[in-house]
Amino acid sequence: MDRALWQVSYPKGVPKEIEIPKETVHGMLHKAVEKFPSTPAVIFALTPTVSKSWTYRDLWKQIVAFSRNLAAQGLKKGDRIALFLPNCPQYIIAFYGALRAGLTVVQVSPLYVGDDLVFPIKDSGAKAVVTVDLLSHHLEEVWPRIKDRKLIVIVGRFKDVAPFIVGKFFLEGALRKKGMDPSLPTKYDFQLFTNFLQAGPPLPKMHFDPEKDVAVFQYTGGTTGRPKAAMLTHRNLVANALQLRTWDAESREGNERVLSVIPFFHVYGMTVALNYPLFFGGTLIVNPEKPSPDSVLPLIDRFQPTEFPGVPALYNAINNDPRAKSLNLRSIRACLSGSAPLTVEITKKFEELTGGRLIEGYGLSEASPVTHANPLVGNRKIGAIGLPVPNTDMRIVSLEDPTKDLGIEESGELAVRGPQVMKGYWNQPEETALVLKDGWLFTGDIARVDKEGFVFIVDRKKDIVLVGGFNVYPREVEEVLYEHPDVLEAAAIGVPDDKLGEVVKAFVVPKPGTKPQQADIIDFVRSRIAHFKAPRTVEFVDSLPKTLVGKVLRRELKKSVESPVPKA
């Protein structure tokens, strides 16, 4: 498709093309350090009243020390280092320190245990692991399965990044009361993170090629179940941060405060809540807990962030929290929502509550991740993922014949091309060839584009429900379910049916104090969309299974249908 189709819809101040500098990720941060040395870079908020901050100068000093000590351990350019960490200062220091030392960061979810934890460490060939005291015991549990190779293990302590008095006298006791174990591991040798912040020998000279050097291994399920590491280069990550910066024409360098609570280990958090704000002098407000109204609302009230990247489930939870109306949330200017579809109802309620602008964006691990976003100013379309960001091309291709391009309002697979698209999958050339074709990344998402260039995701190819030969997209069913006044959260899946092949089943979390009935929910949906698209059954549940980022796990819902838990 011709870029002119969507570029005419760009808001004022957003350039049609941008220049991507030949710069590394850590090099971009260093430029910000030189420009904003005394600006707070990170506020680590254990609670709204217990926090510690680092200026850009302070942060860079620790990054330099960490990188030097990594090299002193014998780690060389191109080696992999796994970060098994929550959002905390140690993550930020280790991330940029590793890149400065020429290493590739392997992203590991802090929720991983057992096989999930072993796989990325062994598959990536990581030579070092960085973790914290609260997670180090999960590493102990799998140590017999990974000790066959020499691993450098670096363990940080939460008390070392807390205010001095709190860290020395109160923190460990408070953590134990919450059922957390801050003791250090005993089953493997490790080095303390603080030792890596001491002065070390200068780094050996090395040459970086941002276009070829891989900065991050970002594991993703992709089109098949086995995790694959998307290889994201320095250029990929720098390009995507710059694309986001130019998209927000009203952003003020050195003056934005970003609530960075979505996890950094996830590609969305890494780019939108870490790299992008730090490249341009923003202040990160960091909290290590799983994002929820309990942790997030007091932070907004106390620290008054101007930007709040998040996910629909979190915005929806805030909308429905009775405390939200009594707290000061009006500092919020801009919110980019990703990782899951954003409904009209969630958008309207959140904007009324905060006065900020909440837009839906779109991306995937293989694209660093952002490829599309709604404009932050001017015209937008709620329900659309927006327009391709600068320097990004797109096509809508036929599901039957991927070589055939479709036109306006025709639904097909979305393919994208741009400087943010990955180098390929680590050690998986066959899988790479399935999704990267002649420079185009085939996303696996079904989409359509309107005459103004706005793109609407219809659904995932693999999530289509085939009801009597007709395609039903779970997203359109969920949009209607969210409109019901008694529905807090909803998800739709396909289940087997003897007559129609498949039918739709809905899972609904009712709003507190309500008791919706199955027949009422089904009739409500049937009154708004075609009867064959409406759920045949509705299961009411206390919660929906989600990733740490907040994406609903439809595959877990399908498993629950295939293997129901026996009734007591």
The more confident residue out of 446 and 281 is: 281
**Residue where the block lists tokens 């090395």:** 206
The pairing of strands 436-437 and 440-449 is: antiparallel
Yes or no: domain 24-444 corresponds to CATH 3.40.50.12780: yes
Q: What is the mean pLDDT of the segment spanning 135-148? A: 90
- Per-residue pLDDT at 88 exceeds 70: yes
Q: Indicate the pairing of strand 424-425 with strand 228-233.
A: antiparallel
Arch. (CATH architecture) of 464-562? 2-Layer Sandwich (3.30)
The confidence score (pLDDT) of residue 568 equals 41
Per-residue pLDDT at 563: 61
Would you call the peptide bond into 369 cis, given omega within 30 degrees of 0 as the criterion? yes
Could you give the 3-state DSSP secondary structure of residue 6?
helix
In this structure, what are the phi and psi dihedrals at residue 362, rounded to the nearest 5 degrees? -150, 145
395-399 long-range contacts, Cβ below 8 Å, gap at least 24? 395/1, 395/440, 396/1, 396/447, 396/448, 396/449, 397/442, 399/446, 399/461
Give backbone dihedrals phi and psi of 154, rounded to 5 degrees, phi first: -120, 125
Strand partners, 401: none
The domain limits of the chain are 24-444, 464-562
CA distance 264 to 272: 9
SS3 500: coil
pLDDT at 169: 77
pLDDT at 301 over 60: yes
Burial 232-245 (b: 16+ CB within 10 A, else e): bbbbbbbbbbbbbb
Is 460's pLDDT higher than 80? no
More confident site: 171 or 160: 160
pLDDT at 147 over 90: no
Please check the confidence at residue 453 and state whether its pLDDT lies above 70. Answer: yes
pLDDT score, position 237: 98
User: Confidence band (pLDDT; 50, 70, 90) for 561?
Assistant: confident
Integer Cα distance of 7 and 467 in angstroms:
38
Residues 6+ apart with CB under 8 A from 310: 261, 262, 291, 335, 337, 550
Q: Which of 11-15, 199-203, 272-276 has the highest mean pLDDT?
A: 272-276
CA 126 to chain centre: 22
- Mean pLDDT calculated for residue range 164-172: 81
Give residue 149's identity as a one-letter amino acid code: R
The set of residues, in sequence order, having a beta carbon less than 8 Å from that of 390 and lying 6+ positions away, is 14, 15, 16, 17, 18, 243, 246, 247
**What are 273's two structure tokens?**
């809540």
In contact, 246 and 14? CB cutoff 8 Å:
yes
Q: Which helix (H) or strand (E) holds 80?
A: strand 80-84
